[in-house]
Amino acid sequence: MNNNHVKYRIGKSRGFQVLTIVLAFACVIPLIAILLFIIREGISRINWHFLVNIPKPVGEVGGGIANALLGSVIMIVMASVMAIPVGIMGGIYLSENKKSRLAYWCRLSVDILQGVPSIVIGIIAYFWLVRPLGSFSAFSGSVALAIMMLPIIVRSTEETLKMLPDSLKEAAFALGMPIHRVIFKVVVPVGISGILSGVMLSVARITGETAPLLFTAFGNPYLSGDPSKPMHSLPLMIFNYATSPYKDWHDLAWGASLVLLLWVLFLNIFTKLITRKWKVQL
């Protein structure tokens, strides 16, 4: 082997390193392009008026996203109320029962649920709630969203609790505590950062979901807080207005996109900060 051959190999190694770095950072370009574009298009549309008014009919100036904002908030809250307790209990169940048959099938089910496309969940909620109750409703939309939150919360709770040492529980049991106290007063507080991050990630995920709401909550041009009636949400409005032929509505959609983006980004960053701060060193 001679000098030139080695030089070639060294050059090749250097070259691949450069290629890897270029490709890796190229991934970020679309993200930055999207962020900048939405900021540019949306910033001029957002003002107080925009946030507190409902959309006007086509051709009329003004209008806003109030109904979608309210709808998003209401449905997220409803979905969370349903999904968080069930999800955390499910995670506790899986972390306490590693070997039982039911736990095996439960774990498998959660894995399956995680991979189900969101539109399929929408179909399910339609047949379980919209058909029987006879109309589109915010409630059915919330149920669909709750189903989507479940696997994330269950998984992260299970993973968090599995990582805690058994000695923690043993100490509590030895003091005569019953299991529900051990879990809720000792184990969960230590693992709160992991559990909370799972919860917040699931909230961030459903904030941006549209497909499950297409035929459940369906959308509502008026400000409504009634869970038994159709309701709008931010991503649903963006979809409807973006695919419409009216420029006014496109403008609304840009503003709405900026609001949604900021909301989701805020949730993600907040989650990262909180979980770092509250993480208990074992």
Partner 1 sequence: MESTIIKSRNFNASFGVNHVVKNVNIEIPRNHVIAVMGPSGCGKTTYLRCINRMHELIPGASCSGEMTINNENIYEMHPIFVRLKIGMVFQRPNPFPNLSIYDNVIAGYKLNGIKLPRAERDRIVEHSLTRVALWKEVKDSLNKKGSFLSGGQQQRLCIARAVAMEPEVLLFDEPTSALDPISTSTVEELFHELKANYTLIIVTHNMQQAARCSDKTAFFYMGELVEYDETTTMFTNPKDNRTQNYITGRFS
Partner 2 sequence: MDTPFAPTSTAAAPAPAGILHPGPASAHLAARAAARIRRSFRQIRTENVFRNALVITGLLLVVLVLGIFLTLVVQSLPSIRLLGLKFLWGKTWNPVKNVYGAFPFLVGTLLSSFLALLISIPFSMAVAVFLGEYQPNGWFSNLLKNAVELIAAVPSVIYGFWALAVLVPLVRRFETRIGVEQPLGVGVFSASLILAVMIIPYAASLGRSMIRMVPSPLKEAAYGLGATRWEVIRSVVLPYTRSGLFAGILLSLGRALGETMAVTMVIGNTSILPKNIFAPGNTMASVIANEFTEADKTVYLSALIELGLALFLVTVVINMIGKKIIDRFTNE
The stretch among 3-11, 46-54, 110-118, 173-181 that binds partner 1 (CB under 8 A) is 3-11
Nearer to partner 1, 3 or 281 (CB): 3
Q: How far is the CB of 67 from partner 2 (least distance, A)?
A: 17
CA 176/CA 122 separation, integer angstroms:
46
User: Does residue 21 interact with partner 1 by CB under 8 A?
Assistant: no
Tell which residue, 240, 282, 238, has the closest CA to residue 264.
238
- Build a one-symbol-per-residue string for 139-168: x at contacts with partner 2 by CB under 8 A, - elsewhere: --------x--x---x--------------
State which of positions 89-118 bind partner 2 (CB under 8 A).
89-90, 92-94, 96-97, 102-103, 105-106, 109-118
User: Does residue 61 interact with partner 2 by CB under 8 A?
Assistant: no
Among 39, 73, 208, 244, interactor with partner 2 by CB under 8 A: 208
Nearer to partner 2, 209 or 248 (CB): 209
Q: How far is the CB of 1 from partner 1 (least distance, A)?
A: 6
- Build a one-symbol-per-residue string for 227-266: x at contacts with partner 2 by CB under 8 A, - elsewhere: --------x--xx--xx---------xx--x--xx--xx-
Among 4, 10, 234, 270, interactor with partner 1 by CB under 8 A: 10
